[in-house]
Amino acid sequence: MYMPQLTETVRTVRKDHPGAFRYKWEFSDGPARFEAVFIDRVSHVDPEDGRPCAVMTVIQILSDESEGRIWSYQYQVKRARNGMLYSNPYLDADYASLKAILQIRSSGEGHPWKVEEFLQRADMSSKQVTGRWEKSEIWYASQLPPSMRNDVEESDKLVFVGLKLNPEGQHQTTGNYLKTMRLISKEIADYCRRTNQSTRWTEHAPSGETENRLPRNIIEVQRYSHLD
């Protein structure tokens, strides 16, 4: 399914905020609210065809944590030859649980619900990103969906500290490389590997200090290089 509004949103963000590629927005569908997180540059491969793609993760927003398990789904987003972004709207096993959240029953009466309508809402609502950019850009790993940060090395340590040059004879671990690629970007993970540096993370920002923002490109990450 084509996503014309997200296509335009991505085009505007790339023009007005060079280097930014992680952002989020909220939308409603029926009685439920959701947050969409879009990662424009990510080392992700569609399992169906092996092609690289961007990722949009949609997460249910619970008004009360006692409501139960949070529903989420990750869409693979690709670009067609005409420049339009598109994604497969079908949800497989997640289809029935989403219908329950939206309180849609198969009564055979009224307007029949189609799963494409949910993705259309996520697409159309992305236009709010450019109007409230200061609230949309993702700067911290803790703002990323749990599906992106729960299975990384030392997943309890999500506060970015900086980079450290590895001593002679030592190298960035595979776990650190994968964590850097997942939480920051493949570009910066590869930069760390080339320069024999490792990203450093902690559970809480040091007392009296603010949390460092995730760098968006190599120029920004160089500010944090060789920190002890």
Q: Could you report the per-residue pLDDT of 3-44, keeping only the tens digit for each?
A: 999 999 999 999 999 889 999 999 999 889 999 999 997 666
Confidence at 64, pLDDT banded by 50, 70, 90 = low
Block residue for tokens 């930069």: 191
**Lowest mean pLDDT: which of 94-103, 132-141, 182-191?**
94-103
pLDDT of residue 195: 93
Structural domains of the chain, count: 2
Domain boundary (136, 168, 191) is at 136
Q: What is the mean pLDDT of residues 151-169?
A: 91
Identify whether 57 is part of a domain.
yes
Name residues whose C-beta falls within 8 Å of residue 173's C-beta, 6 or more positions apart in sequence.
153, 198
**Domain range spanning residue 53?**
4-136
Q: Looking at residue 176, what is its pLDDT?
A: 96
Domain boundary among 136, 151, 172: 136
Question: pLDDT band for position 65 (50/70/90)?
Answer: low
What pLDDT sits at residue 208?
66
User: In Å, what is the CA distance from 141 to each residue of 5, 97, 103, 173, 196?
Assistant: 26, 28, 32, 20, 22
Residue with tokens 């198969």: 106
Q: Which of 117, 136, 155 is the last residue of a domain?
A: 136
Q: Which residues contact 216 (CB under 8 A, 6 or more apart)?
A: 19, 20, 21, 185
Query: Residue range 140-155: average pLDDT?
Result: 89
The per-residue pLDDT for 26 is 96
The answer to whether residues 71 and 184 belong to one domain is: no
CA dihedral 218, 222, 224, 228 (to 10 degrees): 120
| CA separation for the pair 123, 99 (Å, rounded) | 19
228 occurs within a structural domain: no
The token pair that represents 54 in the structure block: 């961007």
Mean pLDDT confidence for 95-112? 74
% of the chain exceeding 90 in pLDDT: 60
Judged by DSSP in three states, 126 sits in coil
In the chain, how long is the greatest CA-to-CA distance?
71
